[in-house]
Structure 1
């Protein structure tokens, strides 16, 4: 590439609200040319948004280092990676996993990271402000399905706030890539329904799948995944793709998860490690970004 990494990315400005000047990027991209390849390779960036990076409302420790390694990988393989897709976790204040939804007998809202169980709801320890039957049914469904219990998250990725936006340096890079390759960035909005939606394919509770997204993913010869947080949205996104294509062994072998491009929410490291251990058995590959050569 004629354009240097530093001309596009300023790693010292990670997490800042650095405006993305698309006209400037368009001019910078004019000098670049890419050789067309018969292989279609997708980079899938999961929830690389301000609120999930250090300093954000639900900032993941070490996420700036993860982001730098991811961006250097994307730069090194700029010509080979033909398409980019990103997910955008998007919420409202009044959702079942936010404190505003719940109160105790004294009218207090739960603190962030509080776990609410079926027993808590049935005993009255925590009660929904409204939608009582649906809320209890939701918590029951989580436990019956063996999924993660209901966690009250800090208010994050609220629609219309800067927290929901893609991190600025990452946004610069992927739009520069789009200009050069001439392919649109696929942006997948998730999390606006009643249920939490960690994965990109379907909510935690509910059977509806994004069939068009699944079909889109199957068009690619290779998929490289990174993002935040490893323990939740990255893991669940990969798991949902695997669950849908479990019998398509050749496809699953071409899914690469960058181990140094993601980190866990503290306290979820052990369950995350167990989950990835099971997913490895399906054929997906967990690799360090410096070891993966496309």
Structure 2
């Protein structure tokens, strides 16, 4: 039976792992965990989408956070082991950029990498167009871009909205306390299911 499930990998970029401009504790662990997960589940998904912060002129965003993930810089690139693992897959892998001219927390509204036409489909639209009925979300950071992405996808009036899931062992957050609260109850309040990747 053909799967109609998608995996969304949020912002596993050099600037968001340890040693990066806005490194998150546990970022490298999450990157390695996602690589292992992809190796063990190569055919579980109909498609895989990655999002990347891709800041060009994000307004006040850099007064809130250190300068990070500037478009085209090494810090904005996907972590190398993840990029290599994705390149070896036999399922479609789609890359999306966000935050070019705003905060860009949610990958739901991200556009295809390199897109220049404002009419290009967003990630949320593309998932529906591809017949996706279930979405797993992993990546960085639990309490910012993962939260915004998962809750926005769950709020969409699209076939997958009732089946959005965060894989708790494949996320890392800026604030451990806020992130744990989200995993314990906050996501559930937004109609997002929390599971571990083995379930």
Question: What is the TM-score normalised by the length of structure 1?
Answer: 0.58
- The answer to whether the 8 Å contact 2:136/2:167 transfers is yes
1:251 aligned partner: 160
Shift in Å, 1:276: 6.7
Change (3 A) 1:64 1:271: closer
User: Given that residues 39 and 221 in structure 1 are in contact (C-alpha distance below 8 angstroms), is that contact kept between their aligned partners in structure 2?
Assistant: no
Question: How far off is 1:171 after superposition?
Answer: 0.3
Q: 1:161: Cα distance to partner?
A: 1.2
Per-residue deviation, 1:86: 0.5
Of 89-98 and 273-282, deviating more is 273-282
Work out the number of aligned pairs and report it.
190
Task: Tell me: CA distance 1:274–1:160, structure 2 relative to 1, closer, same or farther (3 Å).
Answer: closer
CA RMSD of aligned residues (A): 2.7
Indicate the residue corresponding to 1:169 in structure 2. Answer: 81
Whole-angstrom distance in 2 between the partners of 1:210 and 1:273: 35
Partner deviation per Cα, 1:22-63 (whole Å, 9 max, x = no partner): xxxxxxxxxxxxxxx412221110011110111111111011
When Rg is computed on C-alpha atoms for both structures, the one with the higher figure is 1
Runs of 4+ in 1 over 6 A off after TM superposition: none
Residue aligned with 1:286, SS = strand
Tell me which residue corresponds to 1:214: 124
Residue 152 of structure 2 corresponds to 240
Distance of 2:185 and 2:61 partners within structure 1: 27
Unmatched segments (≥5 aa) in structure 1: 1-36, 100-151
Residues 51-102 of structure 1: per-residue CA shift (max 9 Å, x gap): 0111111111011112222222221111222311011101136731224xxx
Provide the residue aligned with 2:113 in structure 1.
none
Is 1:89 matched with 2:1?
no
Gaps (5+ residues) in structure 2?
Answer: 111-117
Contact 2:108 2:124 in 1 (8 A): yes
**How big is each residue's C-alpha offset from its partner over 1:119-146, in whole Å with a ceiling of 9 and x where there is no partner?**
xxxxxxxxxxxxxxxxxxxxxxxxxxxx
Q: Which residue of 1 aligns with 2:115?
A: none
- Whose strand proportion is higher, 1 or 2? 2
Query: Matched residues in 1 for 2:62 and 2:142: separation?
Result: 21
Structural mapping, 1:1-294, within 5 Å: 37-92=1-56, 95-99=59-63, 152-177=64-89, 180-181=90-91, 183=92, 185-193=93-101, 195-202=102-109, 212-218=122-128, 219-245=131-157, 251-266=160-175, 269-270=177-178, 273-274=181-182, 277-281=185-189, 283-290=191-198, 292=199
Is the alpha carbon distance of 1:159 and 1:211 closer, same or farther for their aligned partners in structure 2, counting shifts above 3 Å?
closer
How far is the alpha carbon of 1:225 from its aligned partner?
A: 0.9
Tell me: CA distance 1:209–1:238, structure 2 relative to 1, closer, same or farther (3 Å): farther
Q: Counterpart in 2 of 1:26?
A: none
Counterpart CA distance in 1 for 2:134 and 2:19 is 33
Query: Using the alignment, how far apart are the partners of 2:168 and 2:120 within structure 1?
Result: 26
